[in-house]
Amino acid sequence: MVYGFDNEKYLKIQSEHIKERISKFGNKLYLELGGKLFDDHHASRVLPGFQPDSKLRMLWQLKDQAEIVIVISALDIEKNKVRSDLGITYDMDVLRLRTEFQDRGFLVGSVVVTHYNGQISADAFRNRLERLGITVYYHYTIEGYPNNVGLITSDEGFGNNDYIVTSRPLVIVTAPGPGSGKMAVCLSQLYNENKRGIEAGYAKFETFPVWSLPLKHPVNIAYEAATADLNDVNMIDPFHLEAYGEIAINYNRDIEIFPVLNALFEGIYGENPYKSPTDMGVNMVGFCIKDDQVCCNASKNEIIRRYFTALNNLAQGKCNDDEVNKIALLLKQAKIDVNYRKSIKAARDRAAESGLPCSAIELSDGTIITAETSPLLGPSSALILNSIKHLAGIDHNVKLIPQEMIEPIQHTKTNYLWSRNPRLHSDEVLVALSVLSTHDENCRKALEKLPELRGCEMHSTVMLGEVDHKIFKKLGVGLTCDPTRKK
């Protein structure tokens, strides 16, 4: 895999920048942490070389100075909101996050339940956490938030919230997902720290959009595609331009809320330490790109991937035309169409020739491998076999899994497990290869090539099942599917 991002440089200069920000505010900083911390796969796809856990690894360098505050909205507890990527509710994810942090040596100080208004489910959650020895605070709904500045910055507003007791210079405020109230928790703490004569500051740690890259850079366009369902729009930060005469990129929600934040800071401190929403951020990503062309190419592939994800969601009734149309417009802004992704044309060409569901993958050296469905294998399973045989130098005509082994598996699937599809899924193929590898040299050599699929781009002319999606995600393969169901 060709890397375009210097991950070690990022870990170094991002942590240094946070240390500078801590010292700027009297050795107490509330750092709002947006985006995924343990598994930022979007960043790793558009910035090849960025490790999915880079943010966590960077913060680990500061763990002796840091403590974690986890935020969850009472509204999300009440409606059992689910993290779609993990399939667990937000309240369960609070416990998962706490365990993940503690296992890595971080101090988790407390949990804050925001938007609290006497919800019984929130009280039950608090009781559950306290039985586990976890400190829980309530932050209440404030009428007119965030525009009623006079009320918010008063004892009836932020002053009515529980004061969160913290013990370390860096307080990382994170949450299971967006809309949890992380920023409000930070601002509430600034108000209450100030009342107690404690100097403290606020900063925001988000990776995208990258403020130091051009507005229409593919990395930034890919961020818009990733947040098409939220209707986020990248913009030139007008406050930064006015204050410094230089262009910086931010997004509409931060820019729109800045006048309100400015008033809130003035209500707390008498003045705002920041002249723009970009000033609030701590983001050194743009300075760690070492090969812009590699990152541009990866980002363009990501925009197309997001487009096909939206098409698939539309076909399943999970989104509307607006999301698809927005990403289609972003493709035009990036000056590409779907054929930029070479695996798409290759898969579609083979499907047109065979009349069967087909798939294709572009390997790291540019080689295109294709496969089609058969009575024994689906297109994704066949593609895995064709790809690793090619990488291992095994002749295409060699059958790694003999038919007499596949047929009993199919019999079990259809007759005992009542599957309507007898063909082997990708996970079943990999298990069969693993069994055979103990005495078959070709199977062993082929399996050893699986890591070389990481970072490769694949397309299927039919929508794949959940099992195949999970396998390709674990292999690190970028997958797109036409919004057509298998026949």
Q: What is the mean pLDDT of residues 238-265?
A: 94
Task: Flag whether 121 is in a domain.
Answer: yes
Q: How far apart are CA 112 and CA 122, in angstroms?
A: 11
Coil, helix or strand at residue 348 = helix
Q: How far apart are CA 403 and CA 405, in angstroms?
A: 5
pLDDT of residue 487: 56
Evaluate if residue 484 carries a pLDDT over 80: yes
Query: Among 59-73, 259-273, 384-398, 431-445, which is the least confidently predicted range?
Result: 259-273
Evaluate if residue 312 carries a pLDDT over 80: yes
Task: Flag whether 476 is in a domain.
Answer: yes
Q: Provide the percentage of residues in the chain whose pLDDT is more than 70.
A: 99
- Give bridge partners of residue 204 from the DSSP assignment: 32, 281
Q: What is the mean pLDDT of residues 340-358?
A: 97
More reliable by pLDDT, 458 or 466: 458
| 344-347-350-355 Cα dihedral, nearest 10 degrees | -110
pLDDT of residue 107: 97
Mean pLDDT computed over every residue of the chain: 94
Evaluate if residue 182 carries a pLDDT over 80: yes
Task: Flag whether 370 is in a domain.
Answer: yes
- What do you get for the CA distance between the two ends of the chain, in Å? 35
pLDDT of residue 454: 92
Q: Provide the percentage of residues in the chain whose pLDDT is more than 90.
A: 83
Q: What is the mean pLDDT of residues 12-24?
A: 93
End residue of a domain, out of 159, 187, 207: 207
| 45-50-56-62 Cα dihedral, nearest 10 degrees | -160
Say if residue 345 is in the same domain as residue 203: no
Q: What is the mean pLDDT of residues 28-51?
A: 89
Residue 424 DSSP symbol:
B
Question: 430, 199, 198, 456: which is closest to 341 by C-alpha?
Answer: 456
Evaluate if residue 1 carries a pLDDT over 80: no
More reliable by pLDDT, 243 or 26: 243
Angle at the Cα of 227 from the Cα atoms of 223 and 228, rounded to 5 degrees: 115
Count the domains in the chain: 2
Q: What is the CATH number of the domain that holds 148?
A: 3.10.630.10
Residue 193: C-alpha distances to residues 50, 139, 183, 352 (Å): 36, 15, 15, 66
End residue of a domain, out of 151, 175, 207: 207
Task: Flag whether 113 is in a domain.
Answer: yes
For the residues of 111-137, what is the DSSP string, one character each?
EEEEEESS-HHHHHHHHHHHHTT--EE
Q: What is the mean pLDDT of residues 81-102?
A: 90
Q: What is the mean pLDDT of residues 396-425?
A: 90
More reliable by pLDDT, 56 or 166: 166
Q: What is the mean pLDDT of residues 36-62?
A: 90
Q: What is the mean pLDDT of residues 420-428?
A: 89
End residue of a domain, out of 207, 238, 255: 207
Q: What is the mean pLDDT of residues 213-230?
A: 94
- In this structure, the number of other CB atoms found within 10 A of the CB of residue 51 comes to 18
Evaluate if residue 99 carries a pLDDT over 90: yes
pLDDT of residue 11: 94
Residue 466 sits in which domain range? 341-481
Q: What is the CATH number of the domain that holds 468?
A: 3.40.140.40
Instruction: Give residue-wise pLDDT tens across range 357-400.
Output: 999 999 999 999 999 999 999 999 999 999 999 999 999 999 99
Task: Flag whether 309 is in a domain.
Answer: no
pLDDT band at 54 (very low <50, low <70, confident <90, very high): very high
pLDDT of residue 187: 94
Residue 256: C-alpha distances to residues 184, 243, 259, 456 (Å): 16, 17, 7, 38
| 416-383-1-389 Cα dihedral, nearest 10 degrees | 100
Task: Flag whether 273 is in a domain.
Answer: no
Task: Flag whether 46 is in a domain.
Answer: yes
Task: Flag whether 237 is in a domain.
Answer: no
Q: What is the mean pLDDT of residues 311-338?
A: 95
